[in-house]
Chains A and B, each alone.
Chain A
Amino acid sequence: MKFGVIVFPGSNCDRDIQTVTQGLLNAATRMVWHQETDISDLDLVIIPGGFSYGDYLRCGAIAQFSPVMNSVIEHAKQGKYVLGICNGFQVLTEVGLLPGALIRNRKLHFICDRVPVRVERNDLIWTKDYQPQQVITLPVAHGEGCYYADDSTLKALEDGEQILFRYCSPSGEINPEHNLNGSMNNVAGIVNQQGNVLGMMPHPERASDKAIGGTDGLALFRGLLNSMAVA
């Protein structure tokens, strides 16, 4: 079981992820420079947060044409796992591995906070170590995290139970008041139809070490490691 973390110019959460997967969980982790094309040794690719290519034009727009991204698309098409966090989620929508787009937050603010997020299901590899409807607290830090998709795409996401995380109240209610950035249907994270590609705006890697506050994100990485070690 080997994790790979893609490093674009401007990525800034890459080492945070490595600290969790390698440092806390002792899992083999390789940092993958965006110019590389051979990622066949990896079981799970993580596209980290940050500001790839300065977020010029649109967030994630330039990163989608990095040499490594063709390999990531191929990796996903083989049914292997891809996780995009924050800027990584934006890259995954730009490259078309996930539907929809992430646009400016409803109230324009860059939001840096810890927020309640509801885990919608736990029968996918991503959330094995959580309970369905469990409310967890994760950090968010984004200016363009408002999820947008047209009505038919949104319906397909709901029908296919592809919305894995939603912004919610501390007690787990999904309502406009606790939809921090204006995302449609309170979307905080979605998977593709096959379930092997996950994009999420909150940062589980920043909520994995007690020393820096919450540990609600650690179960995501631990669950992945346990599931894939067994597989």
Chain B
Amino acid sequence: MAGKYHARIYVTLRSSVLDPAGTAVESGLKQMGYSEVAGVRIGKYIELDLTAANEDEATRHLDEMCDRLLANTVIENYRFELTQLATA
């Protein structure tokens, strides 16, 4: 029985990759007086809906999408959360 799923995908820079944008934002926050801030890293958040036979298939397809397009695994990591929306 096919189901509709909602995915929330988080793409983050690998820790070994410099994040100059994160560094700039961190210094901005510090200039605003938030001296307690450290380790700002900027990533991407992607939402999408998909239809799949079951949760396993949805997970497998999402892994493929992330590996092939949504993330560049040379520089990025990804993780996602999946919720079932309705049974088709």
Q: State the A residues within 8 Å of B (CB).
A: 57-58, 61-62, 65, 93-94, 99-101, 103-108, 146, 148-150, 182
Q: State the B residues within 8 Å of A (CB).
A: 16-21, 24, 69-70, 72, 74-75
Partner of A57, one of B18, B20, B69: B69
A-B pairs under 8 A by CB, number? 37
In the complex, what's the smallest C-beta–C-beta distance from B83 to chain A, in angstroms? 23
Complex CA gap A104/B76 in Å reads 13
User: Do B70 and A108 have beta carbons less than 8 Å apart?
Assistant: no
User: Which chain B positions have C-beta within 8 A of A65?
Assistant: 69
Complex CA gap A149/B17 in Å reads 9
User: Do A103 and B17 have beta carbons less than 8 Å apart?
Assistant: yes
User: Do B74 and A149 have beta carbons less than 8 Å apart?
Assistant: yes
In the complex, what's the smallest C-beta–C-beta distance from A141 to chain B, in angstroms? 18
User: Do B17 and A57 have beta carbons less than 8 Å apart?
Assistant: no
User: Do B20 and A105 have beta carbons less than 8 Å apart?
Assistant: yes
User: Which chain A positions have C-beta within 8 A of B19?
Assistant: 104
Partner of B18, one of A61, A99, A103: A103
In the complex, what's the smallest C-beta–C-beta distance from B16 to chain A, in angstroms? 7
Query: Beyond A58-B72, A101-B75: 17 further Cβ-contacts under 8 Å?
Result: A57-B70, A61-B69, A62-B69, A65-B69, A94-B72, A103-B18, A103-B75, A104-B19, A104-B20, A106-B18, A108-B20, A108-B24, A146-B18, A148-B74, A149-B74, A150-B74, A182-B20
User: Do B74 and A104 have beta carbons less than 8 Å apart?
Assistant: no
User: Do B21 and A61 have beta carbons less than 8 Å apart?
Assistant: no
Complex CA gap A93/B73 in Å reads 12
Complex CA gap A107/B21 in Å reads 8
Complex CA gap A5/B88 in Å reads 47
